[in-house]
Amino acid sequence: MNPSPPTRTPALQTKLPKVGTTIFSVMSALAAETGAVNLGQGFPDFDCDPRLVDAVTEAMRAGHNQYPPMPGVPELRQAVADKVQVLYGRRYDPAGEITITAGATQAILTAILAVVRAGDEVIVLEPCYDSYVPNIELAGGVAVPVPLMPGSFRPDFDRIAAAITPRTRAILVNTPHNPSATIWQADDWLRLQEILAPTDVLLISDEVYEHMVYAPNRHSSAATFDGLAARAFIVSSFGKTYHVTGWKVGTVCAPAPLMTEFRKVHQFNVFTVNTPMQHGLARYMADPQPYLQLPAFYAAKRDLLRAGLEQTRFRLLPSEGSYFQCVDISGLAVPERDLPEDQFCLWLTREVGVAAIPLSAFYGNGFDQRVIRFCYAKRDETLHAALKRLARL
């Protein structure tokens, strides 16, 4: 009998040499290990509306358990088109301009894969969500970071304009912004529209927190501006809106020529998205009140957290949108305030019992400005428990 050949796993050259375990996974695991209150990773710790669960259950019982159409269930695409027209004044054709995706992260990756070729440049505004740059690199593109203004996190349009070259294929914008909780106003969009007008640069607008903008502000969408909508993939998230982040269902709106290319990638990426959840979401969206009431719901949680944090030495930054609150740690009366942001967050989790995320994790170069991020998409009792522990600071 011939001896078995030695086993060997071939060596791979990684496509993402800079990527390891995300800071969100690290901090959530540490929070679980230490029993800390997890205000780090951005997900609710409360249930969604039981009516939404009932709608999905009824869809399953009605037999909606096989593949839906590749772009998504027609009723859900129609509901998205109706909502966008009412809120932002633009009518997208649900047949050819709206696609249901397996979450917003898949939507952004698919848009990038559809339009970015090897060597193309994509402008990202830092700090930015951690999937953007790896998505660009997987497409063979080059991420061009343009920092938001430190402290205010406002866009620096002179620097954005200067970053555009003949190789620029797209720019990624996120509003309401994760992690800084700032929002873009109409004047910001108008300035970007002016900059992009003479170019062929595409826009990928990440608007997953569109329903979490707090009075007196309202969400300003790229869909509202003709010159931007004509070149934009606009991304949103049912998971964020309806407290079901684990369902991983999102949506993309784009002009038909862009959506045609998007769907070419989408069909070979995930092909399609969970059928009963699409039917349940379509039925649930018949009532707009859940998303119309969302700003007041989250504003109350934001205010609860801010009121407690004001009793500490954290310096609160504005929270205009999203469900995040950033704080400056430089005024704390503890020696650990001088630690790098990431080390401070580890100390805070282990020794104080509250998990947070360092803003340096959202910069490619690890820029440290003494700012960390809390998430307030939590039950009130969770926020009270965290504040009780943070009171020592």
Can you give the residue ranges of every domain in the chain? Answer: 23-42+292-390, 50-286
Closest C-alpha to 205, from 237, 224, 232, 167: 232
Report the half-sphere exposure of 94 (CA within 13 A, side-chain side).
Answer: 17
Residue 248 token pair: 């991983």
pLDDT at residue 352 in the model: 96
50-286 architecture in CATH? 3-Layer(aba) Sandwich (3.40)
Rounded Cα distance between 245 and 276, Å, is: 16
Q: What is the pLDDT of residues 92-114, one digit of tens each?
A: 999 999 999 999 999 999 999 99
pLDDT at residue 1 in the model: 59
Q: Are residues 100 and 71 in contact, defined by beta-carbon separation less than 8 angstroms?
A: yes
End-to-end Cα distance, the chain: 71
> Residues of the chain whose pLDDT is less than 70?
1-2
Task: For domain 23-42+292-390, give the CATH superfamily.
Answer: Aspartate Aminotransferase, domain 1 (3.90.1150.10)
Q: What is the pLDDT of residues 2-28, one digit of tens each?
A: 677 788 899 999 999 888 778 888 888
Task: Please name the helix (run of DSSP H) or strand (run of DSSP E) that holds residue 341, with its range, or none.
Answer: helix 341-347
Mapped onto helix, strand or coil, the DSSP state of residue 248 is coil
pTM over 0.85: yes
What is the average pLDDT value for the chain, to the nearest integer?
96
Q: What is the pLDDT of residues 163-184, one digit of tens each?
A: 999 999 999 999 999 999 999 9
